[in-house]
Amino acid sequence: MNSMNSGFTPSAISIDGSGDVLVGQIALERLISHPKDSVSEFKRCMGQQTKIELGSRSFSPEELSALVLKKIKNDAEAYLGESVEEAVISVPAYFDDNARSATKLAAELAGIKAERLVNEPSAAALAYLEKQDFCTGTFLVVDFGGGTLDISLVDAFDGVVEIIAVAGDNHLGGKDFNEAISNYFCKENGMCFDLLPSDDRAVIYKTAEACKRALTRIPIAVMSANVGGKTYSVTLDNNMLIGICSDIFERISVPIKKVMRDGRCTLDELTDIILVGGSCRMPTVRAFLEKLTGKELCTDINPETAVAVGAGIFAGIKSRNNELRDVILTDICPFSLGMSTLDSDTGELTMTFIIERNTTLPASREKTFYAIRDFQNAVDVCIYQGESPLPQKNLLIGKLTVKCPPTKQHEPICTVRLTYDINGILMVDVTTFGDKKTHTEVFMSSSRQKLSDKEAEKARERMQALRILPIEQEENRLLIARAERAVEESLAFERDVLMQYLSAFKAALKTGNSREMRGTYNMLKELLDRKDGDDLR
Amino acid identity of residue 379, one-letter, is V
Mean pLDDT over residues 143-158, rounded?
88
The number of folded domains in the chain is 3
Is 289 contained in some domain?
A: no
The 3-class SS string of 213-258 reads: HHCCCCCEEEEEEEECCEEEEEEEEHHHHHHHCHHHHHHHHHHHHH
Among candidate residues 415, 444, 473, the one where a domain is terminated: 444
Within-domain flag for 522: yes
DSSP state of 114: -
3-state secondary structure 6-74: CCCCCCEEEECCCCEEEECHHHHHHHHHCHHHEEECCHHHCCCCCCEEECCEEECHHHHHHHHHHHHHH
The per-residue pLDDT for 322 is 58
Residue of 157, 158, 124, 127 lying closest to 140 (CA atoms): 124
Return d(Cα 455, Cα 213) in angstroms, integer: 42
Instruction: Indicate whether 82 pLDDT > 90.
Output: yes
Select, from the ranges 6-10, 27-31, 66-70, 228-232, the one with the highest average predicted confidence (pLDDT).
66-70
What's the whole-number mean pLDDT along residues 92-98? 81
Helix, strand or coil, per DSSP, at residue 479: helix
pLDDT given at position 369: 94
d(CA 185, CA 200): 12
The pLDDT of residue 443: 67
Domain identity same for 435 and 514:
no
What's the pLDDT at 448?
A: 47
Return the higher-pLDDT residue of 170 and 322. 170
Tens of pLDDT, residue by residue over 400-412, are 899 989 999 999 9
CA distance 319 to 247: 44
**pLDDT tens digits for range 381-407:** 999 998 999 999 998 988 889 998 999
Give a yes or no: residue 460 inside a domain: no
What is the pLDDT, as a whole number, of residue 69? 94
Q: Which of 89-98, 242-251, 515-524 has the highest mean pLDDT?
A: 242-251
Highest mean pLDDT among 67-81, 292-306, 478-492 belongs to 67-81
What pLDDT was estimated at residue 300?
A: 79
In a domain, 192, yes or no: no
CATH of the domain at 97: 3.30.420.40
232 vs 460, more confident: 232
Share of the chain above pLDDT 70, in %: 94
| Alpha carbons 421 and 91: distance in angstroms, whole number | 17
3-class state of residue 89 by DSSP? strand
Task: Say if strands 137-144 and 272-276 run parallel, antiparallel, or are unpaired.
Answer: parallel
Cα 353–chain centre separation? 28
HSE-CB at 516 with a 13 A cutoff on CA atoms is: 13
Q: Give the model's confidence band at 415: pLDDT under 50 very low, under 70 low, under 90 confident, else very high.
A: very high
Let me know if residue 105 belongs to a domain: yes
Domain boundary among 425, 444, 463: 444
Residues 5 and 89 in one domain: yes
Mean pLDDT of 507-518: 86
Give 24-51 pLDDT, tens digit per residue: 999 988 988 888 899 988 888 888 888 9
Q: What is the mean pLDDT of residues 40-69?
A: 89
- Tell me, yes or no, whether 82 lies in a domain: yes
Q: List pLDDT tens digits, range 235-258.
A: 999 999 999 999 999 999 999 999
> What gap in Å lies between CA 34 and CA 203, rounded to an integer?
10
pLDDT band for 201, please (50, 70, 90 cuts): very high
3-state secondary structure of 364: strand
More reliable by pLDDT, 119 or 319:
119
Any domain includes 376: yes
Task: Give yes or no for residue 326 having a pLDDT over 70.
Answer: no
For the stretch 427-456, pLDDT in tens is: 899 999 877 777 777 665 444 445 566 766
Domain residues for 93?
1-115
Average pLDDT value over all residues in the chain = 86
CA-based nearest residue to 76, from 8, 1, 13, 10: 1
Name which of 218-232, 339-353, 462-476 the model is least confident about: 462-476
Q: Is the dihedral of CA 260, 301, 116, 109 positive or negative?
A: positive
**End-to-end distance of the chain based on CA atoms, in angstroms?**
30
Task: Give the domain CATH number at 341.
Answer: 2.60.34.10
Q: DSSP 3-state assignment of 488? A: helix
Give me the phi and psi of 336, to 5 degrees please. -70, 150
pLDDT band of residue 325 (cuts 50, 70, 90) is: low
φ, ψ of residue 369 in degrees (nearest 5): -125, 160
Q: Supply the pLDDT for residue 536.
A: 44
Separation of alpha carbons 385 and 351, rounded Å:
10
Nearest-Å Rg of the Cα atoms of the chain is 26
Q: Is residue 239 part of a domain?
A: no
CB 159 within 8 Å of CB 264: no
Q: Give helix then strand counts, H and E, for the chain.
A: 14, 25
**Which of 64, 81, 115 lies at the terminal end of a domain, its last residue?**
115
The closest of 127, 89, 91 to 110, measured between CA atoms, is 89
Cα distance between residue 534 and residue 537, in whole Å = 6
Dihedral sign of CA atoms 64, 333, 116, 94 in order:
positive
Model pLDDT for residues 328-369, shown as the tens digit of each residue: 778 888 889 999 999 877 888 999 999 999 898 889 999 999
